[in-house]
Structures are given as structure tokens and as C-alpha cells.
Amino acid sequence: MLLDHDVDFILVGALSAVLQGAPVMTVDVDIVHQRTEENIDALVEALDALDAQFRGPPGKRLEPTREHLASTGHQLLTTIYGPLDLLGTIEHGLTYEQLLGDSIDVEFDGHRLHVLSLAKYVELKEESSLPKDRARIPVLRETLEMQKNAEREDSDEGQ
């Protein structure tokens, strides 16, 4: 739905690692979105179509506003498809623009999807003190090593 509304974002959470072959589990989608006025307008439209609201106590509905989406903070939402975490920045205050160089492009449903590179994801998780992040590191490192070995083999075959 975000892609259908031409929202500029980078997939940054565990799902970014899954798309690159890491056998990890996740229940939400984490993105860092570009915080330009035009992109926020597109994001508001997409969130409306997703019936997005902040996660919180039942019976209390709070929808994200342009002001929320323009901030560097985290907007933890629920949508008709499940949890969606909108992040203005991630570790070290990294923004969409700063992360774009550390992302790869994946074709998805006729759209180009920016996905945080596995190498950058591993780098950021290695600095984390959260138990769930620390537990994933061996699996992430192994996946990254397998990815590098496959690239080397492809390079050797091409010579």
C-alpha cells in the first residue's frame, strides 16, 4: 500500500534481513520514511487507506498526523494488515537520506523497494543492547557470510 501511494521509505527492521535470506522472525514492518512535505502527504494518504492508528488501549483511537510523521520519533501503528513502525530516524539519528546509500533496491510488485543492506543491519544490531537483537546476531552474521561467499563464487565464475 505504501508503494502504491509512492511513499519514499527504506525497509529497515528484521523484515529487511528476511528479504536478504536471514532466517529470523518478525511480526511488524519497520520503515524509515523520507520526511519531506510531499512524501508526508503521500504517507498520510497511504495510512488512511491502511486504517492506521497508534497502538494503545482498546477503545481509544488516535491517528497519526503530519506533525507526528515529520518528527524524528517512532510512530508505532496498527493497520488492517498488522503492526507498522514508522521511524523518523534509527540508531545514531540516521535519516532516510543517510541510509539510502546503505540500502539495496528490490523489485516488488512492479515497484522498487529500498531495503537496508544486510551488512548495515548487522552493524547496527551489533551495537544494540536489546536481548532480542543480541540473540539474532549469530544468525545474521552467518547469513551475511553466506551472502559474501556466494558473491565471491559468482565473481570467480565470471572471470
Residue type, 70: A
- Residues 72 and 8: their CA atoms lie apart, in Å, by 16
Residue-wise pLDDT for 107-157, tens only, equals: 988 899 999 999 999 999 999 999 989 999 999 999 999 988 888 888 777
**158 falls within a domain:** no
Sign of the alpha-carbon torsion through 143, 89, 30, 73: positive
**126 falls within a domain:** no
**29 falls within a domain:** yes
Domain count, the chain: 1
Domain of residue 93: give its range: 9-118
**27 falls within a domain:** yes
**3 falls within a domain:** no
- The 3-state DSSP class for residue 152 equals helix
- Residues 84 and 47: their CA atoms lie apart, in Å, by 10
pTM over 0.75: yes
**30 falls within a domain:** yes
Q: In the structure, what pLDDT confidence band is assigned to residue 29 with cuts at 50, 70 and 90?
A: very high
- Residues 51 and 43: their CA atoms lie apart, in Å, by 12
**129 falls within a domain:** no
- Residues 129 and 111: their CA atoms lie apart, in Å, by 35
Residue-wise pLDDT for 74-110, tens only, equals: 999 999 999 999 999 999 999 999 999 999 999 988 8
* Predicted confidence (pLDDT) at residue 44 exceeds the cutoff of 80: yes
Sign of the alpha-carbon torsion through 61, 77, 108, 9: positive
Q: Are strands 103-108 and 111-116 parallel, antiparallel or unpaired?
A: antiparallel
Residue-wise pLDDT for 8-18, tens only, equals: 999 999 999 99
**143 falls within a domain:** no
